[in-house]
A and B are shown apart, each in its own frame.
Chain A
Amino acid sequence: MARYESVLGLIGETPLVEISALSPNPDARLFIKLEGQNPGGSVKDRVALSMIEIAESDGILKPGQPDQILMEPSSGNTGIGLAMVCKVKGYHLKVVMPTNVSIERRQLLELWGAEIIESPGTEGSNGAVRMAQKLAGEHPEWKFLYQYGNPANPQAHFEGTGPEILRDCPDITHFVAGLGTSGTLLGVGRYLRETRGNAVQIWAVEPPSGETVDGLRNLDDGYIPPIFEELGGAELLDRKTVVRPRESIEWTRRLTDVGIFAGISTGAALAGAIKCASSLEPGVEASIVVVSADGGWKYLSTGAWTDDLDEVTERAKSIIYF
């Protein structure tokens, strides 16, 4: 049945596609979960809907009542997912977003009617979080769902993404995903641990954002999402690896060889999965599942697929793509 009462019913149940043609190891099968198939275009639709529905059931948000304002820090995808859900449900959204994101991220927020509050690009997402926390203190009437500290974020993945992955790939041995809020890794990781124990390894991939974020005054301006600490992220992860912009773009391009058009963070996550596949002993059979957080549409303006690799790499160093 492909008929839905609302577009929100399209969130989740994303496809898992085999891309073993890209695996460097004949014993390691590779699968990619295409979260760009969500109606708002990213994995964050799940988080947005989960946070809003739980806020509604807790009475923090009241469906149908006018003039309810939400405010959230986001480098893009959570803001876009929230903006779409808010449009459908009739809430007003303000998104605190660093200035150095792709133009498409801004445009999508605008088309869903969200208001953008700019935070300094030199401070990256950390600066957006800090500004949002300050604004939340000044405006207690705004509802602050706070994806970095809201258990509804990993819960969406524990209840949705994780079970979908295990159903579609019962012999999964490795799960690889990008680390942003840590919601995907915590939710899926905990689900896989509870159901498959140590038969599954959990790998996190992150960009070297701290290298280019030069607005931090000292290391104390660093940031770890509270959910990561509260839900034992450090104990859950088996490995964490950094993937640089050039490699991220190279693997984003390689994905088109198997017909997949995905965002730059997917290239980074895939590079981590390739590293994982290469690290296995010969003869050890593995099924590696990697998450594609979004499609490529929001990054066309970066020239990621069409421009000179050196130029695109330089450009990617100055934008936030996680």
Chain B
Amino acid sequence: MAVEVRLPTVLRTHAGGASSVQLTGATLGDVLAKLVAEYPGLAGQVVQDDGSLHKFVNIYVNDDDVRYLQGLDTPVPDGAEISILPAVAGG
């Protein structure tokens, strides 16, 4: 499945300045593994070495937070937009 991964400003320096990257994969985990393969500087940042999502990162597949879907096993439909955002407060 071809998807677009949108990177936040804070991670772009590790991805050659790119704000979004086109990748393929059946699940979010597949896509993120390919993202790290392409940009090794992102290793351990979004998905930590123990395989869990970084505490202060939220990932959305088509605007839904994957922590409330199936986490890294969340399927990514063709054409999906994946957004990676740092956790930010409001109020």
By a beta-carbon cutoff of 8 Å, the part of chain A in contact with chain B is 44, 74-75, 77-78, 124-126, 129, 147-148, 178-181, 183, 206-214, 216-225, 234, 237-244, 265, 320, 322
Closest residue of chain A to B66 (Cβ to Cβ) is A240
Q: For residue A212, which residues in chain B have a CB less than 8 angstroms away from its CB?
A: 9
Task: Establish whether residues A238 and B55, one from each chain, have CB atoms under 8 Å apart when the complex forms.
Answer: no
Complex alpha-carbon distance, A74 and B91, angstroms: 6
The 8 Å CB contact of B90, one of A179, A220, A240, is A179
Closest residue of chain B to A178 (Cβ to Cβ) is B90
Closest residue of chain A to B19 (Cβ to Cβ) is A211
Complex alpha-carbon distance, A179 and B68, angstroms: 14
Q: List 21 A-B contacts (CB under 8 A).
A: A44-B91, A125-B90, A126-B89, A180-B90, A180-B91, A181-B90, A209-B88, A211-B9, A219-B11, A219-B46, A220-B56, A221-B86, A222-B55, A222-B57, A222-B88, A223-B56, A224-B87, A240-B58, A240-B65, A240-B68, A241-B64
Q: For residue A78, which residues in chain B have a CB less than 8 angstroms away from its CB?
A: 91
Q: For residue A244, which residues in chain B have a CB less than 8 angstroms away from its CB?
A: 63
Size category of the binding interface on chain B:
20 to 34
Q: For residue A126, which residues in chain B have a CB less than 8 angstroms away from its CB?
A: 88-89
Closest residue of chain A to B9 (Cβ to Cβ) is A214
> What 1/0 flags go to B50-75 for Cβ under 8 Å of A?
00001111101001110110000000
Task: Establish whether residues A214 and B68, one from each chain, have CB atoms under 8 Å apart when the complex forms.
Answer: no
Complex alpha-carbon distance, A220 and B57, angstroms: 9
By a beta-carbon cutoff of 8 Å, the part of chain B in contact with chain A is 6, 8-11, 45-46, 54-58, 60, 63-65, 67-68, 83, 85-91
Closest residue of chain B to A220 (Cβ to Cβ) is B56
Given A210-B58, A219-B54, also A243-B90 (CB < 8 A): no
Q: Give A131 Cβ to nearest chain B Cβ, in Å.
A: 13
Complex alpha-carbon distance, A222 and B86, angstroms: 6
Q: Give A219 Cβ to nearest chain B Cβ, in Å.
A: 5
Task: Establish whether residues A208 and B83, one from each chain, have CB atoms under 8 Å apart when the complex forms.
Answer: yes
Closest residue of chain B to A44 (Cβ to Cβ) is B91
Q: Give A107 Cβ to nearest chain B Cβ, in Å.
A: 19
Q: Give B21 Cβ to nearest chain A Cβ, in Å.
A: 15
Q: Give B77 Cβ to nearest chain A Cβ, in Å.
A: 15
Task: Establish whether residues A180 and B89, one from each chain, have CB atoms under 8 Å apart when the complex forms.
Answer: yes
Task: Establish whether residues A129 and B65, one from each chain, have CB atoms under 8 Å apart when the complex forms.
Answer: no
Q: Give A243 Cβ to nearest chain B Cβ, in Å.
A: 7
Q: Give A241 Cβ to nearest chain B Cβ, in Å.
A: 5
Complex alpha-carbon distance, A100 and B1, angstroms: 39
Task: Establish whether residues B90 and A320, one from each chain, have CB atoms under 8 Å apart when the complex forms.
Answer: yes
Closest residue of chain A to B69 (Cβ to Cβ) is A239
Closest residue of chain B to A184 (Cβ to Cβ) is B91
Q: For residue B45, which residues in chain A have a CB less than 8 angstroms away from its CB?
A: 218-219
Q: For residue A148, which residues in chain B have a CB less than 8 angstroms away from its CB?
A: 89, 91
